Amino acid sequence: MTNRLQQHHPTYRWLPVFWLIATVLLLCLPAAPIHATEPAGGVQVFAVRQQDANNDGQPDITIIDCAFATERDQVRVYDRGGNMVASDDWHTATDFTDDVWVFDVGADGSAQLLITFQQTADGLLAELWDDRDNDGRVTHRPPPNLQIRELPWAPVRVLAPDGWWQQDTRPNFNLQITVDGPIRASFAYPSFERFLRLDGSTDFTITVRDDNRDGRPEWQWVDAWPAAPPASGVMRVEAIQNVDDDEYPITGSIFWHYLGSGEQYTKDYLISPPPIQMNWDTATLATVGEFVASRFNDNVWFVYSQYRPDAGEAVPASFEAPFAFYDLAADDDGYPELQVRMVAYPPEDRYANPNNPHWMQHIRYSWDQDNATSWDYKLELVGQHPIDTIARLPDFDLQMVPYEDLPAWITGRTWTMDFVAIEPPIESYWTSEGIYETPTDPSDLLTYQQAQRDTLPPRNAALPLGLRTEATNPAAQHTPMLYFSPLDRKLHLRHAESGYWYPDQASAVYYDNLDGDAYLDQWIYVRQLGTTAAPRTLVRQINLTPQHLLYSDSERAEVLIREVAVPPSLFEAPPPTTHAEWQQLGTQLAQHQREFDPAALDAMAEQFAGATTALQGARLRDFRYTNAGYRYVIELEPNFRATGSLATGFAGLSPGAYLIEHLPQMQISPLEPPALALTLHIAPRAATTQHLLPRAVELHNAGTDDAAALRLRVDATSAEGTTDASTTILSQTITVQGKATEWVAFDWQPPAAGTWDVVATLTDQQGQTVASSSQRETVPARAAVTTSEVLLLSTPPDRWWHGLLLLGLISALVVVSIVLSVGNPSRAGRSEQ
Amino acid sequence: MNHPRARGSIPAYLYLLIAVLLGLVFASYVLLRYNGQWGETDTYSFARAINSVASTGELIPPEQLYANGYGYQTLITLLSSISGASLADIQQYAAVLLAIWIIPPAWLLYRELIGSARGATLGTILLLVQPELLFVLARGTHEKFTRGLILLSLWLLVRSLRSTDRLSSFAGLIICFYLSIYGVITFNSFLANSFIFAVIISLILSWLLLQISRPTTDAVQQISPLVQRLIFVGGVGLILSFIFTFYTYPPAQNTLRVMNTIAERTAALVLDVEPQQIDEEIFNPYATIDSAWVNRPAYLLLTLSNWLLLGISAGIWLAQTLRWLRHRRAPADIGTLLLWSFYGAFAVQGALSVLADLSGVGGNLQHRLFPSFTLLAVPVIARAVMQWQPTQATTRRIGYAGLASAVGVLAILSTLKATNEPMLSNKWLFHRADEIQAIHWSNRHLPEQSLWVGPDERLLTGYGIRTIGQPQSVVLDAWQIEPGTRAVLLSDVIRSQSLRLGVPLPVRADAHVLYDNGGSQIYRYRPETPYQQ
């Protein structure tokens, strides 16, 4: 084009020279101010006027009548660079390069915030000054002789090393921010607020990075420097990455791009409020919040670490490291479909357990399977796996599982697990951090895995309605795997040993894995019926065995024995880690899922055909596996009726309870009620105080019926009625199965010598004593520690006299000294007076 | 004041030597009573703090920091470097010998306050039979230096007040005085603060006496400079303390910060209290007597010296005060006034500390402040004894003999108290070689596991001091056994301790015996879960 123009007009020959001169002139011109071009989303501007304070013909002050905190506010902008432009448009008139911005709430002439902008050698600097003497205003003298009489330093300083806040429509998110004093500048701030002082030293260093300068920050990390003791577990570093670089544009700014109102530290979904927020009521800077959303987005992750990274060496990241969100649906809709929170405890973690030599992890893994912004499933995992991978952050490295590897890292290892599925009556469950509720307290699991518990962690049996939970045995660890049961058509956790679900206030579904394989095999539906005065309980139950499906209904007094081998699962899949896995699981669920009424166990059973024996007027209970097969109890009513292939076995039976055993052939025998015997075993030789001898209780059930929920208690009572006259040695609930013997060991150190009666008692659920035994034991007195024993313990036997000799010497020296000092006053008087 | 010696009398330095000899014998007793095998909490804590300073080369190490001062850590690090002795040896053996250094400044101060070498010797001997002071001197902590430097500071103060006519001497004494004050601050800023506040209280008392009485011209000439000097001392002391706390050694600031209430912070500054670990319930230090000693009579007998010192010195001081008030006359002698005002100041602090203890603000204030009080109470008595001149020779002889005998007995009782004699105390400090051997074994064979080592900190501290700086793989657990601890050390001493304290041993009947050296055994519980294998 240029060549053609040059051909037509000779002037164009000088065009390159013109551009050269123009470029040189431009370079020689003083730097132009960065005009205030920020859209004032949080502001309504009414009028702009200007004043020429020094009568030089140029405006020095721009006064903006506006509303940002009340209906009528004012902002006064003072020019300090001699470059204020005469204009009634504040964007043109003012700049964020060298002006001083004074924010006056209520337009009463006071100032609630001052921002001084200046160009420094390090970049463009904004210093924010708020009220620090609690008078509701920033006491100051405006430019040209600016004086701010609140503090000698600004509590918040924002540095843009690039030298610009905004170019075109792109704000600069390469920022270095320092905060001094109790201003919320990190998520964990409330936990260490008491350690923060407004003392001129930096309490927070916030680094924001937008490496590709697209106006969307990718990284933010906060170094917190509270004056907390070194052993205090405060969060010293918080780092956030937006992996997709899709941060939402800031809206609601008050003139300057980063300034807004409020006290919200985190962002919300699909929105970015200005991160530096003022509380205009108190005239104080309230928050320096998130530039990068930590959790309200898909494909983001963050670390909240108690350990501070070292610039030279990767240190372990402790606590939430990482807390990650994934866009499994690949729709980039701002809402994650997978949330993974890993709480990592490095070996010898000074903030958790310095004595534990292993890495430990506690993980929450929730996902939204149908992309409806509602969490559907969650795994809670606890384990001990070494972490030797390094996550590279812009300025430092952390020893942690990198974001991109995290889901596969988890699903490829073994854990103790809880599983939670969202079921009716919950229609939608959404939090920014996944599904919180879990049946097993993770801290109990952690202490159990650290060998600090002798007993299995308890399970919380009172989770809210609609949370279907399952849990694996805490004593075992398994790779996370889900399976789809053909019976209830729901997703379950492989290796779960039990579970429950409360569909409503009056009913519950209990799941059990009785044979110890990887699949649930017992469903029990319980519903409270009747009135308060006459309550009754409906129990429906399904048991799956390798050969049979057993169904019973207590209301209809019906038992079905169906000869069918129900497969334990229709398909199996790991928790989704990628879009493909998530999609495949969704497809499989859509193909097989079917909604059953939780009470409709009969409908579930009807899915499977087979030769069926129906017992009318019968109830089933106490199903369990034995070494030879399985057994249960059938209670036959007077009018019972049996039909079907196994009916002949029930022919001629009288009403009553029968033990049915499948060995594998079915055998029926009258049920023998529990016949319990208790034997107290105390070692024949007597104990002494401070010494232990093994003791145990032997419990035997001679009947075939199981005796469940028995209370075993062992008490020791002093026959002499001395102090500590009675003490409970043991108290626990126990089940003694039919034709079985249980042993319970216990320890007891007699607190005093004398005769003690040790009594063991077994009571049933009604509190009736069903067995007991007692034994009298004489505990010989052990002589108290004598003075001579202590003397010989505390010094070598052949040198016990050393101390006595020295004590005598001390005493003798004291006596001699005193005699010399006061014993001869006449002589002393001569010498010293 | 000059101290001329008449021909034929005992030289003053011999008096001092006798006092030093007594200190040496006391130190020998501490070492030989337990054959050098002893330990206690504060000595162990300081061993860890010193090791941290020595290993990092930093005054403010990141771990095991002693927040109230760096003096003791640096001094022991220096001594260890110079002598080549291990930190453990210094803390366990040399620390008690270092306590002897307190005797010269005490003797010098008392000579100034009482007015004679004999009086100084009597005062020093009385000081060395005070159990609370002996206890803190015997330990491997800063206290022997803080107390000694306080004595030195007071001596320098008196000497400087009496040397105003010689400028070079005066200037030297003043410089040394403030260096001593700063020395106290570096060893323990809280103890230094309480001393500085004692200076301020003594200033107030002196000023009040000056106002109330009709001083003679001589007295005014004596007292006015003292009041003036105390103003300077208090002011400069506060400035030095401020600089130390907020600039030189910021950790001292943290100690203040973690205190929750204004009352706690005030107590910390005025009365020398450190943060208590007991958060929830109010700790009554007076209730621990029953648990710490075999019986109350034994405790009262062992602490008889305390009560006598308290009662007699208070009586003398009150009588003196009343006499001055009645006659509206201030003492003309600067030593007398200084002794009176400082005694009053420490007594006021002591009374406040008892109130603070009982209200729960403190915790062990009276224990911490009583040694300071002792430093000034002793010369009050010694001065009175020296002024007692009965005309009857028989009365004099009987009186002096009785005094010598009584103090001789008190010396034995106080030594037993200061060393927590296990025949009378339930807080045992000693350990045996077989116990150390057993822990050594567990250190090799129970890595990363916890070992219970007794119903109190006896072995935790004893073994900790002996192995300071060495890597430990076994984790020692004491007092109530922790849930994760599955190995238990039982020794003859622990069994006897358990009987004495009436606490059960945490051993299960079916536990395995892993180790037995005759005197000590290590038991291990059978595993109950897969993670306990």
pLDDT attached to residue A20? 54
A234 contacts A227 by C-beta, under 8 angstroms = no
In angstroms, the separation between the Cα of residue B84 and the nearest Cα of chain A is 28
How far B128 CA sits from the closest chain A CA (Å)?
Answer: 9
CA angle at A214 for the pair A208 and A216, rounded to the nearest 5°: 45
Q: Does B368 touch chain A (CB under 8 A)?
A: no
| Chain A interface mutation, best of B13, B26, B33, highest count of A Cβ atoms under 10 Å | B33
Q: In the prediction, which pLDDT does A31 show?
A: 44
Please report, as a single letter, which amino acid is at residue A380. E
Window from A162-166, A762-766, A777-781, B471-475 with minimum mean pLDDT:
A777-781
pLDDT in tens, A328-387: 999 999 999 999 999 999 998 989 888 788 999 999 999 999 999 999 999 999 999 999
Q: Return the residue of B nearest to A752 by Cα.
A: B502
CB distance B118–A821 less than 8 Å? yes
- Contact list, B493 vs chain A (CB under 8 Å): 793
Residues 6 or more apart whose CB falls under 8 angstroms from that of A754 comprise A718, A719, A720, A722, A778, A779, A781
Compute the average pLDDT of residues B269-278.
48
Residue A560 to residue A579: CA distance in whole angstroms: 44
* Residue A346: Cβ-neighbour burial (10 angstroms; 0-12, 13-18, 19+): buried
- More reliable by pLDDT, A134 or B213: A134
Distance from CA of A524 to the nearest CA of B (A): 29
Selected residue with higher pLDDT from B215 and A203: A203
Selecting from A449, A689, A818 the residue whose C-beta is nearest the C-beta of B407 gives: A818
Residue in B29, B408, B510 closest to A814 by CB: B408
Residues 238-257 of B with CB under 8 A from A: 253-254, 257
Task: Provide mean pLDDT across the span A624-639.
Answer: 95
Q: By CA distance, what is A475's nearest residue in B?
A: B530
How many angstroms away from the CA of B429 is the closest CA of chain A?
9
B446 touches chain A (CB under 8 A): no
CB A163 within 8 A of CB A190: no
Q: What pLDDT score does B216 carry?
A: 64
Residue numbers in A near B389 (CB within 8 A): 825
Determine the residue of chain A that is closest to B533 in CA distance: A451
Work out the pLDDT band at B366, boundaries 50, 70, 90: low
- What angle (nearest 5°) sits at the alpha carbon of residue A280, between those of residues A274 and A284? 85
List Cα–Cα distances, B12 to A738, A820, B15, B120, B385, in angstroms.
95, 12, 5, 10, 19
> Do strands A61-67 and A572-573 pair parallel, antiparallel, or not at all (unpaired)?
unpaired
- Alpha-carbon distance A405 to A388, whole Å? 13
Considering CB atoms only, which of B29, B62, B508 is closest to A747?
Answer: B508
Which residues of chain B are within 8 Å of residue A225 when distances are taken between CB atoms? none
- Chain B residue closest in CA terms to A347: B448
> Is the pTM for the entire model greater than 0.90?
no
Phi, psi of B36 (to 5 degrees): 80, 0
Sign of the C-alpha dihedral, residues A278, A279, A282, A285? negative
Instruction: Assess contact for B255 and B68: CB atoms under 8 A.
Output: yes
Averaged over B111-131, what is the pLDDT?
93
Residue A164 tokens, joined? 């610009």
pLDDT at residue number A515: 96
Contact residues on chain A for B409, CB-CB shorter than 8 A? 811
Distances from the Cα of A67 to the Cα of A46, A72, A103, A256, A464, angstroms = 8, 5, 11, 14, 46
CA distances in angstroms from A523 to A508, A526, A569, B413, listed in the order given: 10, 10, 15, 77
Nearest chain A residue to B115 by CA distance is A832
Please report, for residues A504, A618, A645, the alpha-carbon distance to residue A649 in angstroms, rounded to integers and kept in the order given.
Answer: 40, 14, 9
Residues A219-241: tens digit of each pLDDT: 999 999 998 888 889 999 999 99
Q: Which helix (H) or strand (E) holds A666?
A: strand A666-670
For A412-442, the pLDDT digits (tens) are 999 999 999 999 999 999 999 999 999 999 9
B127 touches chain A (CB under 8 A): no
Which residue in B15, B416, B483 is closest to A453 by CB distance? B483
B3 vs A contacts (CB less than 8 Å): 832
Mean pLDDT, rounded, for A170-186: 96
CB contact under 8 A, B415 and A807: yes
pLDDT band at B511 (very low <50, low <70, confident <90, very high): confident
- In this structure, what is the dihedral angle of CA atoms B183, B187, B193, B198, given to the nearest 10 degrees? -70
Query: B509 and chain A: CB distance < 8 Å anywhere?
Result: yes
Q: CB contacts < 8 Å between A and B, how many?
A: 195
The chain A residue lying nearest B419, using CA atoms, is A803
Helix (H, G, I), strand (E, B) or coil at B200: helix
Is pLDDT at A9 greater than 80 in this prediction?
Answer: no
User: Which residues are CB-contacts of A680 (< 8 A; sequence separation ≥ 6)?
Assistant: A695, A697, A698, A714, A758, A760, A773, A774, A775
CB contact under 8 A, A813 and B25: yes
Chain B residues whose beta carbon lies within 8 Å of the beta carbon of residue A802: 32-33
Q: A448, B486: Cβ pair inside 8 Å?
A: no
Closest Cα in chain B, distance from residue A476 (Å): 8
Q: What is the dihedral of CA B430, B431, B432, B436, to 10 degrees?
A: -150
Residue A664 to residues A40, A547, A644, A650, A740: CA-CA distances in angstroms? 81, 9, 18, 17, 21
CA-nearest residue to B483 within chain A is A452
pLDDT score at A28: 44
Distance CA B423, CA B425 (A): 6
Per-residue pLDDT, A8? 42
* CB contact (8 A) between residue B118 and residue A749: no
Q: Which contiguous run of DSSP H or E holds residue A508?
A: strand A507-512
Q: Which residue has the higher pLDDT, B358 or A318?
A: A318
Residue A95: per-residue pLDDT: 95
Alpha helices in A686-822 (DSSP H): 787-794, 800-822
pLDDT reported for residue B270: 53
Q: Which residues of A touch B385 (CB under 8 A)?
A: 822
Q: Is residue A4 predicted with pLDDT exceeding 70?
A: no
Q: Tell me what ipTM this predicted complex has.
A: 0.90
Contacting B residues, span 64-123, partner chain A, CB-CB under 8 Å: 65, 116-119, 121-122
- For A817, the closest chain B residue by CA position comes to B18
Question: For A567-617, what is each residue's pLDDT tens digit?
Answer: 999 999 999 999 999 999 999 999 999 999 999 999 999 999 999 999 999
Average pLDDT, chain A: 90
Closest chain B residue to A788, measured at CA:
B423
Average pLDDT over residues A801-825: 87
Mean pLDDT, residues A629-640 taken together: 96
pLDDT band at residue A311 using 50, 70 and 90 as cut-offs: confident
Give A751→chain B minimum CA distance, Å: 8
Task: Answer whether A363's CB lies under 8 Å from A384's CB.
Answer: no
Contact A229 B254 (CB under 8 A): yes
